[in-house]
Amino acid sequence: MEFSAPVPVPLPCLVVDHDGAGGEPCTTLLDISKGKQYQHHACDDAGSRRFRRWMTPHGWVLSWDTSTLATFLWSPQTSDKIDLPPLTPEQEIPLHSACSLSGKPATAGSFTVVAVEPEDTVVWYCHVGGDAAGGRGWVRHEYDMGSVTSPVVNGRSMQAKKFITRLTAVGGKFYFKSEGELGMLDFSPAPLLGSVPVADIERPPRTTSMALSFVELGGELYLVTAFLHYDIGGATSVLGCGVYKLDLAGKRWRKVRDIGDRAFLMCPQYFGGCCSATASGLRPNCVYWMGLCGDKLLRVIDIDGNEETHAVQDPCKDITGSNRNAIWMLPTDP
């Protein structure tokens, strides 16, 4: 992906990594604002492939030039760049890490960039601006949240380390889902793990699994949940979608049915974000969920109380090769 000009499709868009006709890695941008009339734009030149990129809910893209080791935040709307400390030759942030910022770079003054390794107890972070200037650069931090015991199989149980899959920033702190509680990660400036007991939400009848993600909206933390049912034959159906706002004082999630002229945009493994709906050509008060049932489909779900799937779309149907990953690129926060 070139970093010399804004992206050539409206934001938000889907960034799809896939195999080209000859098996080479390719990236395609999909404009989803026009319903089923998807605009494709290939970004598969050799120069762009030297960059690794991680989308953030604030719209900024964490970028790493693997040839020079330089890292920076890039705005896909304006191509503005915020230089970050370079990685050292011994450092490497895994490709499928989840990235978040503690605040909006334009207004925060100083902020922290965090990348969470996908299946390990490791976070990477660097502080930007303020007293952090001239600091330690990128830091690799290993954490310990204890272990979880898996069900007994053949008379034996197994233990595995708990790890963070993604982070959502509200008020300068990072939040993550943990069993029976709300996990928190703060930096002072070293990382500090904490938690708040928060009651789990109720599952509708026939729910066999839930897909969960946090989203920040208006300085508040929201939980977006899809309720799923797995059939014996292997098919997955969507029973509904719920949106909840954190009541920190009451230590509970309160259901909401109206997020105004906003749309939540979700991916199964990476992050949830939001944007203005009508300005982006999207349906307001809806959740756009990509790959919810382990497929390549985009579901648009109303959250006004009916919680019905408004549309099921297949934006990747015309992309050649195997689709390895699809993630949202959002407008940059002002």
269 or 100, which is more confident: 100
Q: How many domains does the chain have?
A: 1
Does residue 190 have a pLDDT over 50?
Answer: yes
Q: For residues 64 and 72, give the distance between their C-alpha atoms in angstroms, rounded to a whole number.
A: 7
| Residue 309 in this model has a pLDDT that exceeds 90 | no
- Asked, as a colleague might, if the bond just before 334 is cis with ω within 30 of 0, I would say no
Confidence grade of residue 2 (pLDDT, cut at 50, 70, 90): low
Of the ranges 24-38, 105-119, 180-194, which one carries the lowest mean pLDDT score?
24-38
Percent of the chain with pLDDT over 70: 85
pLDDT exceeds cutoff 80 at 20: no
Q: What is the pTM of this model?
A: 0.90
Examine residue 270 and state whether it is found in any structural domain, yes or no: yes
More confident residue, 318 or 261: 261
Q: Give the per-residue pLDDT at 38.
A: 57
Question: pLDDT band at 191, cuts 50/70/90?
Answer: very high
Q: Which long-range contacts (CB under 8 A, 24 or more apart) does 308-316 make?
A: 308/240, 309/238, 310/283, 310/286, 311/35, 313/32, 313/35, 313/36, 315/14, 315/30, 315/32, 315/38, 316/16, 316/18, 316/30
Q: pLDDT per residue over 58-80, tens digit each? A: 999 999 999 999 999 999 888 89
Q: Cα(105)–Cα(101) distance, rounded to whole angstroms?
A: 8
Residue 5 is assigned to a structural domain of this protein: no
Tell whether the model's pLDDT for residue 36 goes beyond 70. Answer: no
Residue 134: its pLDDT value, please? 43
Residue 320 lies in a domain: yes
Please indicate whether residue 39 or residue 244 has the higher confidence score (pLDDT): 244
CB 217 within 8 A of CB 206: no
* Domain-located, residue 315: yes
Q: Does residue 1 lie in a domain region?
A: no
147 in any annotated domain: yes
| pLDDT at position 7 | 80
pLDDT at 319: 82
CATH of the domain at 35: 2.120.10
How high is the pLDDT of residue 42? 61
Residue 8 lies in a domain: no
Length of the chain: 334
The least confident of 89-103, 197-211, 271-285 is 271-285
Q: Is residue 2 situated within a structural domain?
A: no
Q: Which two tokens stand for residue 275?
A: 């944007």
Which structural domain range is residue 122 located in? 13-329
Report, as an integer, the average pLDDT of 18-27: 77
pLDDT beyond 80 at 131 = no
Confidence band, pLDDT 50/70/90 cuts, at residue 133: very low
